[in-house]
Structure 1
Amino acid sequence: MFESINANICKKNEFTPDEIEYFNTILQYKEVPKKTLLLQEGEICNFEAYILKGCIRKYYINENGFEVIIQFAIEDWWISDIASFHEKKPSKLFIETLEDCQLLILTPETKEMLLQKVPKFERIFRLLIQRNLSAMQNRLIDTIAKSAQEKYLEFIKLYPTIPQRVAQHHIASYLGISAEFLSKVRTKLAKQ
């Protein structure tokens, strides 16, 4: 059960077998069915989840009542509302499973215990936050500077397995376009 998460963290730092064993003992394993809300707007996020199996989306509802997806997460990725988790403030986001999922979870308490006992994990979580920030920055730039077709092609390049796993209207929401417009973009690309 822990092979993938252990390989993930060991790519970023060296750990002793005892440190890895301690890390594994504080992780909570959880199976979650498809279409489960792990977090709702207004709740305080009390987890950082590593995805062993499944696909999850993170989104908010805009002023017009439409869902705006800001992240998809699949196997070997982490998902959380970083701001709510660390600042203990009500979330503005929803996190929902799109498939049946198997997760390994850290709570604020278990994460703090881990960082106290094995300070080397600070580097792991710093690198995760840097990667997340970089991805969000690139996404923001793409949203402002690229056409719908360019955004779609970039999405497929970066996340080649996600289009087979999620509904087209979810991809359209992520790209900031309507499902109908995405259909036109895909038709145009198919003809090229």
Structure 2
Amino acid sequence: MLYSKNNVMIYEKLFTAIEQHVPLSEIEKNSIRSYSVVKKFRKHQYLLQEGNISYTENFVVKGCLRSYEVNEKGQEHVIQFSVEDWWAGDLLSFLTEQPSSYNIDCLEDTEVIQFTKTGLDRLYDEVPMVERYFRLLLQNAYIAASDRLLSTLSKSAVEKYDDFIKKYPHIEMRVTNKQIASYLGITPESLSRIRRQYVLLPNS
């Protein structure tokens, strides 16, 4: 099968990410292409809305997405940002086929490589290395979620901001102060104060 030059470049980003963890042959790369699709979304479009089932896992080739939930008071709580080389989706909804509690929208024009659950299951059979890769992703996601919970419970606001900067370098130019504050669980006014404190730290 022939692929356009643009698609080859798009998939090379995914293959580079996977090969940081497991090796892939050209035959295996072709299998990955055959069980996935490239999708484009415009800024403000939803990848997933609360109450819907997350039918795809999405590798971000280009763009920035926000995963968030809305509480009973209508307040948004940002769970995660997904930028280039990250994955976006509600993994719990994807695996259980239950409605999601999250919304995922595009903060920029975005391009992703999508995998359905059926496609991934077939890909696991054909390319065991892909199953190993996703197992590593699950482990890393669990560790990240545990670290986030521990940070929320035990770290100061300045320490949380420091973690955010290290986790998402350069993202502050791509998201609003309100969205960053929502991720950190603080007000935008508190974020401004924390930034002033942060620049005074010796290692900032």
- TM-score tier, shorter chain, comes to over 0.9
Could you tell me which of 9, 20, 23 is aligned with 2:29? 20
Q: What displacement does 1:25 show?
A: 2.2
Letter paired with 1:29: V
Give the fraction of aligned pairs with identical amino acids, expressed as a percent: 40
Q: Deviations over 1:29-85 (max 9, x none)?
A: 011001111111110000100000000111111232211001011001111101100
Query: Given the alignment of the two structures, is residue 72 of structure 1 paired with residue 81 of structure 2, yes or no?
Result: yes
User: CA 1:191–1:50 in 2, change beyond 3 Å: closer, same or farther?
Assistant: same
1:42 and 2:38 aligned? no
Deviations 1:14-40 (A, max 9, x none): 222101111122220011001111111
Q: Deviations over 1:110-149 (max 9, x none)?
A: 1112112222211111011111111111111111111111
Aligned to 1:83: 92
Q: Which deviates more from structure 2 when the two are superposed, residues 110-119 or residues 84-93?
A: 110-119
- Match in the other structure for 1:5: 14
Task: Give the gaps of 5 or more residues in structure 1.
Answer: none
- Paired AA for residue 25 in structure 1: S
Which residue of the partner structure matches residue 6 of structure 2? none
Instruction: Give the drift of 1:187.
Output: 2.9
Once the two structures are TM-superposed, the CA of residue 181 in structure 1 deviates from its matched residue by 1.1
Match of 1:181 among 181, 190, 193: 190
Worse overlay, 12-21 or 87-96: 12-21
Which whole-Å CA distance do the structure 1 matches of 2:43 and 2:72 have between them?
Answer: 27
Q: 1:154 aligns with which of 158, 163, 185?
A: 163
**2:143: which partner in 1?**
134
Aligned to 1:63: 72
1:96 aligns to 2:105 (yes or no)? yes
AA paired with 1:10? E
1:2 aligns to what SS in structure 2? helix
Consecutive aligned runs of 4 or more in structure 1 exceeding 6 Å deviation: none
1:162-177 to 2 correspondences below 5 Å: 162-177=171-186
Note the C-alpha offset of 1:190: 4.2
In structure 2, the gaps of 5 or more residues are: 1-9
Partner of 2:129: 120
Output the amino acid matched with 2:16.
A
**TM-score, length basis structure 2:** 0.90
RMSD (Å) for aligned C-alpha atoms: 1.3
- Compute the TM-score of the two structures, normalised by the length of structure 1: 0.95
SS at match of 1:151: helix
